[in-house]
């Protein structure tokens, strides 16, 4: 008798769990997940120096990464912001070249696997890819150092498909501060956004590029949330209240996210989920619940950070696991509409707002950053040195060792 009861209870529990998973998969048939951040391009650089023709780089069989074609299909991933990432040690060196190469490798992924990936640059492209059952592929440039403090480079990256720019990675740029400032490991430099940083933001708004606040300091978050004409995103960040890591988003910022109709795409990295080297799917769901509670159901999304992190929660080991996470949300009584929002509709809403705010007919910002704000000694100074201001020229000479050397030789 007892064992009979036990068996029935087990069957009931299992059937309920199956039902949530089935329901998740049904929803994801027409609303697949849009993930905010995946570092597969970085893995392709590290493992194959971006040589996609290498037999081992075949994305159908690649198996030591969190991401491959089969896993994307199983995970019902319908759109992916691929990260064009170059580490902070390339700042003031070859950051722009490295960024271009990571953007190029995404374009070549689309070319090599046209039945799986379609490179798109706007919200209607994402919707179209959903219809075609392909993975809409977009590019997020991860780190303001990638523009080398140049609005010209920013615009060129836009033309190559950049649709979000993370204002910093884990280093300050001359115009925006990163999260290490809040941990006391870097000095505050721009107090949020410098005047040039504000021009960067303005230009992103004008072009229709989403502003990404993952990795930035709280002061930078607040400045951007205050000044952006369109909602912004956190492409891969979680809730600070649940894990006191400075990469996460604190409550007061979550309230600004709500007020501005912005979006937090939750990062799955164990260290941001549990502040510990291990974590679970359920703890990720806790972050989603929490952000929903503070910022609203319209402010939640997914930014797994797959292939960019060294550990992932039990139950979310690779990109194939998304349906299990959706099943967990359904179990926690998220409505179908809320789930569809988190999966795709919230990002689409933000992206469409950003597109609406864009003004391609408006004159581009032209004011260069002042020479003395730049660091590093490897740039030439064309344009600056022949400028009208002699005083500026003197400053430039003082500011750059390369030029100092040059001037000594001339003397
Ligand atoms: C392909 O990539 C693997 C792993 O990086 C490497 O060992 C191998 O030499 C590469 N093959 C070719 C033909 O470049
Ligand atoms: C992983 O891929 C490598 C290279 O394609 C292959 O030799 C190996 O058998 C694969 N392992 C599994 C478990 O599929
Ligand atoms: C979206 O991008 C496609 C190219 O992928 C382009 O043909 C289309 O005109 C764009 N739509 C809008 C509304 O800009
Ligand atoms: C930005 O901050 C200023 C000054 O604190 C405030 O008056 C304004 O309402 C804020 N704007 C937005 C959009 O948050
Ligand atoms: C989680 O990690 C901590 C140390 O990082 C360890 O003490 C603990 O046993 C781990 N828990 C599980 C369930 O693995
Ligand atoms: C912001 O909060 C209000 C009140 O809780 C809610 O109605 C609204 O949907 C939230 N906005 C978003 C984007 O979720
Ligand atoms: Zn990151």
Does the annotation mark 66 as catalytic? no
Residue 307 CB partners (closer than 8 Å, separation 6+): 38, 39, 40, 42, 43, 65, 66, 67
* Domains in the chain: ranges and CATH: 2-369 (3.20.20.140), 377-411 (no CATH)
What is the mean predicted confidence (pLDDT) over 330-356?
A: 98
Angstrom distance (rounded) from CA 143 to CA 269 = 19
In this structure, are residues 325 and 267 in contact, taking their beta carbons and an 8 Å threshold?
no
Ligand 1 site residues, Cβ closer than 6 angstroms: 47-48, 54, 56
> What is the radius of gyration, based on Cα positions, of the chain?
23
Is residue 14 very low, low, confident or very high in pLDDT (cuts 50, 70, 90)? low
pLDDT at 341: 99
Q: For residue 144, give the DSSP letter.
A: G
Number of continuous H segments (helices) and E segments (strands) in the chain: 16, 9
Angstrom distance (rounded) from CA 286 to CA 377 = 47
- Give distance in angstroms: CA of 300 to centre of ligand 6: 11
pLDDT at 4: 66
pTM of the complete model? 0.91
Residue 331 CB partners (closer than 8 Å, separation 6+): 17, 20
Does the annotation mark 236 as catalytic? yes
In this structure, are residues 136 and 78 in contact, taking their beta carbons and an 8 Å threshold?
yes
Q: Looking at the CA of 235, name the nearest ligand.
A: 7
Angstrom distance (rounded) from CA 225 to CA 241 = 19
pLDDT at 369: 97
Does the annotation mark 104 as catalytic? no
Residue nearest to atom 5 of ligand 6 (CA): 296
The average confidence (pLDDT) of the chain is 93
Does the annotation mark 142 as catalytic? yes
Per residue in 15-53, pLDDT (tens digit) is 777 899 999 999 999 999 999 999 999 999 999 999 999
Is residue 258 very low, low, confident or very high in pLDDT (cuts 50, 70, 90)? very high
Ligand 6 contacts CB of residue 299 (under 6 A):
yes
Is residue 287 very low, low, confident or very high in pLDDT (cuts 50, 70, 90)? very high
**Structure token digits, residue 336:** 């179908």
pLDDT at 17: 74
pLDDT at 404: 43
Give me the catalytic one of 215, 245, 286, 287: 215
């Amino acid at each position: 008798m007892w064992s009979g009861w036990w068996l029935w209870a087990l069957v009931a529990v299992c059937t309920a769990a199956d039902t949530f998973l089935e329901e998740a998969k049904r929803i994801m048939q027409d609303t697949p997940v849009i993930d905010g951040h995946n570092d597969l391009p970085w893995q392709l650089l590290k493992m194959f120096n971006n040589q996609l023709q290498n037999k081992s780089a075949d994305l159908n069989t690649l198996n030591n990464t969190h991401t491959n074609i089969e896993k994307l299909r199983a995970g019902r991933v319908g759109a992916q912001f691929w990260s064009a990432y170059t580490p902070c040690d390339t700042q003031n060196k070859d950051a722009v070249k490295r960024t271009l190469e990571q953007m190029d490798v995404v374009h070549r992924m689309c070319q090599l696997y046209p039945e799986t990936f379609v490179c798109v640059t706007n919200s209607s492209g994402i919707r179209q890819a959903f219809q075609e059952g392909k993975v809409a592929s977009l590019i997020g440039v991860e780190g303001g150092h990638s523009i080398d403090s140049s609005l010209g480079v920013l615009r060129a990256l836009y033309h190559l498909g950049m649709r979000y720019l993370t204002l910093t990675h884990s280093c300050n740029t001359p115009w925006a501060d990163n999260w290490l400032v809040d941990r006391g490991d870097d000095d505050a430099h721009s107090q949020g956004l410098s005047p040039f940083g504000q021009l960067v933001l303005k230009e992103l708004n004008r072009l229709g590029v989403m502003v990404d606040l993952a990795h930035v300091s709280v002061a930078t978050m607040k400045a951007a949330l205050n000044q952006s004409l369109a909602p912004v995103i956190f492409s891969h960040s979680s809730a600070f209240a649940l894990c006191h890591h400075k990469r996460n988003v604190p409550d007061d910022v979550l309230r600004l996210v709500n007020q501005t109709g912005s979006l937090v795409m939750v990062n799955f990295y164990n260290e941001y989920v549990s502040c510990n080297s291990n974590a679970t799917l359920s703890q990720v769901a806790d972050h989603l619940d929490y952000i929903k509670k503070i910022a609203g159901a319209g402010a939640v999304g997914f930014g797994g950070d797959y292939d960019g992190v060294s550990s992932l929660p039990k139950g979310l080991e690779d990109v194939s696991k998304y349906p299990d996470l959706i099943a967990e949300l359904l179990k926690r009584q998220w409505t179908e509409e809320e789930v569809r929002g988190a999966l795709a509709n919230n990002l689409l809403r933000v992206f469409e707002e950003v597109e609406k705010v864009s003004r391609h007919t408006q004159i581009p910002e032209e004011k260069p950053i002042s020479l003395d704000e730049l660091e590093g000694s490897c740039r030439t100074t064309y344009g600056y040195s022949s400028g009208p201001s002699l005083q500026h020229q003197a400053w430039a000479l003082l500011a750059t060792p390369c030029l100092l050397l040059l001037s000594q030789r001339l003397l």
